[in-house]
A and B are shown apart, each in its own frame.
Chain A
Amino acid sequence: MRCQRMLVPVLTLVLVMVPAASAQAQGEEVPRGPTFAARALQALIDGIQFGVIIAITSVGLSLIFGTIHLINFAHGEFVTIGATFAFFLNVSPAGPGWHLIPAALAAVVFGALLGGAVERGVWRPLRARGTGLINMFIVTIGLSLLLRHVVLVLYGTRPASYAQYDIQSALDLGPAGITPRDLTVTLLSVLVLLGTAALLQKTRIGTAVRAVAANRDLAEASGIDVQRVVLFVWMLGGGLAALGGVFFGLVEIVTWDMGFKLLLLMFAGIILGGLGSAYGAMVGSLVIGIVAQMSTLWFPVDLQYAWALLVLILVLLVRPQGILGRAERVG
């Protein structure tokens, strides 16, 4: 085991770094503007902002895994659908042209309904049929393909922004800056995460969710309606994913495949935090967001998502149960 831990980083180097390193020798120098400390602070701020948005989307993914042990590969599509539905209400000439705030709220409701509909229409019947878990993973892949390309037909390939809050000047915070829009999104995201935590910790349904995640059979035997809890988790996950989509579309841009790109980061976040744990997903996603943004200090921007995978592999080697997960003996 000891030598294996050494082997993986070495192999990564062989596969990725060696061709890239010879490329680097011929590559151009990174332009240097502000001091390193200022750029690091800016990257940290961007990273926190990015991390809390990933956290919003990944909490649902982790909770779904915690309750029914299904990895929802279609979760990224919930994010895209949230963002594009808000876009339809807000900007699209065919839509009603609402202000972004009601449009975002409507998108969250739509995401929650979609999550509930998918649970009632697809997963519950499949579980009743006794379809194996691995086969269900493949169904989520099919669902992801279907939803993504329905969005592509309806929305098109062109990236776009929302009508409001598009261009703003940054507030000056000494060496770094943040636009009022990004600051609001970050603060709102933190509030939503705290709200979700309170929901899980204080309310009846939240306690039930945690009970089902901890031990499904025991929860069922104690009189908890597991089907209802699972439906609630899907609706919560769908709604949060839609909200994350609107936030991401607001600070970055709306595209038809944005959710699928975020899915990689969500996976890295929930594995880092511990599969199945909602709080782990929050912490892990925050770390992933910061890693992705800080990597741009040393490495090219077009590789920033790729570092998430490196983190993922390192975590699997060193602590597969994640930061907040429990070690569990398998086999």
Chain B
Amino acid sequence: MDFPAIVSDALRSGIGPIAAVYALAAMGLNLHFGYTGLLNFGQVGFMLVGGYGLAITVSTYDGPMWLGVLGGIACAIVLALLLGLPTLRLRADYLAITTIAAGETLRLFYRSSWAEPVTGGVFGLQRFANDFYALSPIEPGTYGVWLVRFSSRDLWVMIVGWALVAAVGGLLALLIHSPWGRVIRSIREDEVAARSLGKNVYAYKMQSLALGGVIGAVAGMMQAIQVQSVNPDNYDPGVTFFLYTLLVLGGAGRILGPVVGSVLFWFVLSFLDSALRQAIDAGHISPELISTSEVGAVRFALVGVALILLVAFRPQGILGSRKEMLLSGR
């Protein structure tokens, strides 16, 4: 077993571009779930419209990249209105069902042969972020210390990604401690009480859904930029479930919860992945039991177990407070 390689994989994944993207998307989800108590199971849908908004503008219509970013954000707001208008007046469970269904339906629409001339269908769209990489001040080459090395491209995405995480974190911290944030949290604690004090609960929920959705869309754009491609099958509901796992792990209802959760989640996931593959290659685990191609599935199953155990035994995660996370459905 090559331990330095395993540690290197895990460290690179824990601080890499993907961890930044997931931290960002989970921050949007944290605003929904952690602060407002909205059970959004379709965060991946916001990531999808963000990524595709950018890709379609640049790739299909030859527009400039800044317009694509605006387009992605506009799509996220439209999606939030579309989901929120029918469901936010109803009980929490309706939002949960509608969001999970909407995420999956958007994926079906974008991958259908019908939409193929615009979205690229099952093939997706590629090479739309050249402008982003042209802005990079970093000389080509690889950079790093000890076991951790990144290419200049990944480094540039990482810098922008984590800078966005810091900026969004700062913005959310200010918002949450403003009067607006206090209303949002009071909705999570007791919606009826907030309403009886004269607050327009519906409008606040809608603002929270739209803002968190826009953050998710920005995360989707970073993800699309990082691999220079969008493909509908990268936006399956499993992404949302990953986001929930790392949010609960880090601590929902805390600004740093998604960041800590994302770094730790990707570190552990890559560590397991790499260790399992090496153990199978070295013959420590019989290929009859788990073959290398099944490692991905085993990984997902372990995430499921982790999610169940976390919610059952430590719903507040690492940073959260238990008192705040005993939510009941309303």
Contact = CB atoms under 8 A, between A and B. Distances in A.
Interface stretch (A161-169, A237-245, A298-306): A298-306
B82 A12 contact: yes
B154 interface: no
B301 A305 contact: no
Interface stretch (A78-86, A138-146, A226-234): A138-146
B59 to A, nearest CB: 12
Interface stretch (A38-46, A99-107, A147-155, A207-215): A147-155
Contacts of B26: none
A137 interface: yes
Given A149-B301, A271-B94, A331-B191, A15 B82 contact: yes
Nearest to A144: B304
Contacts of A153: 290, 294, 297-298, 301
Contacts of B191: 331
A22 interface: yes
B325 interface: yes
A132 B81 contact: no
Interface residues of A, number: 65
B114 A24 contact: yes
Contacts of B87: 316
A50 interface: no
Given A24-B114, A302-B108, A331-B191, A271 B86 contact: no
B301 A264 contact: no
Interface stretch (A3-11, A177-185, A186-194, A279-287): A3-11
Contacts of A142: 241, 245, 303-308, 311
Interface string A313-324: 100110010000
Contacts of B37: 134
A48 B298 CA distance: 38
Given A19-B118, A22-B117, A302-B112, A122 B297 contact: no
Interface string B88-110: 00111110111011101110110
B182 interface: no
Contacts of A129: 312
Contacts of A264: 100-101, 104-105
A137 B82 contact: no
B75 interface: yes
A297 B126 CA distance: 33
Nearest to B83: A313
B80 to A, nearest CB: 10
Nearest to B41: A141
B329 A133 contact: yes
Contacts of A137: 39, 93, 96, 329
Nearest to A299: B114
A264 B98 CA distance: 9
Please classify the interface of chain A as helix (H, G, I), strand (E, B), loop, or mixed, using the class held by over half of its residues: helix
A153 B300 CA distance: 11
B56 interface: yes
Contact of A15 (B78, B245, B325, B327): B78
Interface string B147-170: 000000000000000000000000
A131 B118 contact: no
B282 interface: no
B86 A302 contact: no
B117 A145 contact: no
Interface string B241-267: 100110010000000000000000000
A307 to B, nearest CB: 9
B118 to A, nearest CB: 4
B177 interface: no
A200 interface: no
B113 interface: yes
Contacts of A271: 94, 97
B328 A122 contact: no
B115 A20 contact: yes
Contacts of B56: 19
A331 to B, nearest CB: 5
B16 interface: no
B326 interface: yes
Contact of A20 (B49, B109, B300, B330): B109
A320 B93 contact: no
A16 interface: yes
B101 A312 contact: yes
A16 to B, nearest CB: 5
6 contacts: A15-B75, A132-B329, A134-B328, A145-B307, A146-B301, A302-B112
Given A11-B82, A152-B294, A313-B86, 8 more contacts: A11-B81, A71-B96, A131-B315, A137-B39, A138-B311, A145-B300, A153-B301, A312-B98
What 6 A-B pairs come out closest when comparing CB atoms?
A146-B304, A145-B304, A142-B307, A133-B329, A149-B301, A316-B86
Interface of A: 4, 7-8, 11-12, 14-16, 19-20, 22-24, 26-27, 65, 69, 71, 73, 122, 126, 129-139, 141-150, 152-153, 260, 264, 267-268, 271, 275, 299-300, 302-303, 305-306, 308-309, 312-313, 316-317, 320, 330-331
